[in-house]
């Protein structure tokens, strides 16, 4: 039982580091100091997370890249994306985005069959759109405020809203339902995911003058852009009522793309 819990924790924490790297590469956003009033606590946690990644996750990822060819790593990534269909499907339904939900269902059925359990991606070849939805974004669409910026040990940047959404995301992940075998597969997916993002993570670390600020601002840029683009395009036609707001009540600003 203890080993099962340990593998479950490793899987979720590894995915958190992968998310951190992806958010860090989203772009150089405008700062949000009013939403980082916990910076004195966040910075030490952030530094500890970086040390763990450099000492543990990165070496494992580098070893994985040496033994697993890039096409195989891509196929494993495709499989994981297909496997986590329930999260995106439920999120799309919760947002009232029936077109997206339909696309997710079609992608899952096609890739699970013709794509051999999702290792291949014939749905994209067929022109079916690919979306990136999650429960945190759904909560934003419901008008739930994000709360202050927080850095979670190992998991990385978040807000109370996205943290709550992440718990539901994890519950919707089929790997969570399958016990020990699923957690073993989850570790493989996590290592592969970290390896896939390695170059981007290392590039962002070298380029940033203050990596903490870079990750924080990129996190807000990515989350704000995802929510605003979808919300404005489908419902408003302008940005007069952006649902992703920082604590002082003003909408977050988007920087021009880089």
Give percent of the chain with pLDDT exceeding 90: 65
Q: What is the mean pLDDT of the chain?
A: 80
pLDDT tens for 46-64 read 999 999 999 999 999 999 9
Q: Is the pTM of this model over 0.75?
A: no
Q: How confident is the model at residue 228 (pLDDT cuts 50, 70, 90)?
A: low
pLDDT tens for 69-90 read 999 999 999 999 999 999 999 9
Domain boundaries, the chain: 2-236
Tokens 């479950």 — which residue?
Answer: 8
Q: What is the pLDDT of residue 184?
A: 86
Q: Angle at the Cα of 135 (from 105 to 3), degrees rounded to 5?
A: 95
Phi, psi of 251 (to 5 degrees): -70, 145
In this predicted structure, the answer to whether residue 242 has a pLDDT above a threshold of 50 is no
Burial, 67: exposed, middle or buried (Cβ in 10 Å; 0-12, 13-18, 19+)?
Answer: exposed
């Amino acid at each position: 039982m203890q080993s099962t819990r340990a593998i479950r924790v490793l899987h979720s924490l590894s995915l958190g580091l992968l998310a951190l790297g992806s958010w860090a590469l989203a772009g150089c956003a405008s700062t949000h100091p009013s939403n980082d009033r916990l910076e004195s606590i966040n910075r030490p946690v952030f530094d500890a997370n970086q040390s763990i990644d450099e000492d543990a996750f990165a070496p494992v990822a580098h070893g994985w890249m040496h033994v697993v060819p890039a096409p195989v790593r891509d196929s494993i990534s495709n499989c994981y994306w297909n496997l986590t269909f329930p999260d995106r499907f439920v999120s799309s339904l919760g947002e009232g985005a029936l077109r997206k939900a339909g696309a997710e269902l079609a992608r899952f059925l096609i890739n699970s069959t013709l794509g051999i359990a999702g290792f291949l991606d014939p749905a994209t070849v067929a022109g079916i759109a690919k979306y990136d939805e999650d429960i945190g974004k759904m909560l934003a669409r419901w008008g739930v405020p994000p709360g202050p910026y927080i850095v979670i040990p190992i998991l990385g940047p978040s807000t109370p809203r996205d943290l709550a959404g992440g718990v539901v995301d994890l519950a919707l992940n089929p790997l969570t339902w399958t016990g020990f075998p699923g957690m073993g597969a989850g570790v493989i997916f996590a290592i592969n995911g970290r390896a896939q993002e390695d170059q981007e993570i290392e590039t962002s670390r070298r380029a940033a003058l203050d990596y903490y600020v870079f990750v924080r601002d990129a996190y807000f840029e990515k989350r704000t852009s995802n929510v605003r683009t979808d919300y404005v395009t489908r419902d408003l036609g302008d940005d007069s009522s952006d649902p992703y707001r920082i604590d002082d009540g003003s909408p977050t600003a988007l920087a021009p793309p880089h």
